[in-house]
Structure 1
């Protein structure tokens, strides 16, 4: 993911392909590999990754939109809002195991 965020697409692709070779059903690795392929203009390969994700997670609406984008010649994330950024500061204290309910 860091390689992807830093636009090191070739390195990201290598790491993600390796992760998938270890676990063929690793949807998150396939998702980012599909995005890498999209940014590398390897649309057919990107579609292949997202089709596999759709098989593994048939109810995933975002993947359906990404596939529609790719098949219509758009970028994978065209018109898809990015996830909300995590807050920089927390207002509540972290939860410790000893104070949580359901002690084991």
Structure 2
């Protein structure tokens, strides 16, 4: 049986903050954990685990919560490629120093 390694501390902290934010957003909307569970189609136990920052909670539950709270567009923007400065920098490093047009071939007269 495969055992997973514990999540790194920064990941644990982020999940804790996300869980606290979900709890706060739920309470601001005057929803019980049971209400939220019904809205996202899961159990109250899953909502409690999500709010506690449990790393085994399925991503689909977080996405459903964001949908219920009207924040699903933020999930779409998480890894927006146009904002990926590291990825763009790595791509720029591989750009050619100069670009040349291909030579015409005498047989076809084309490039």
Name the TM-score class by shorter chain.
under 0.3
* TM-score relative to the length of structure 1: 0.24
Larger Rg: 2
TM-score (norm 2): 0.23
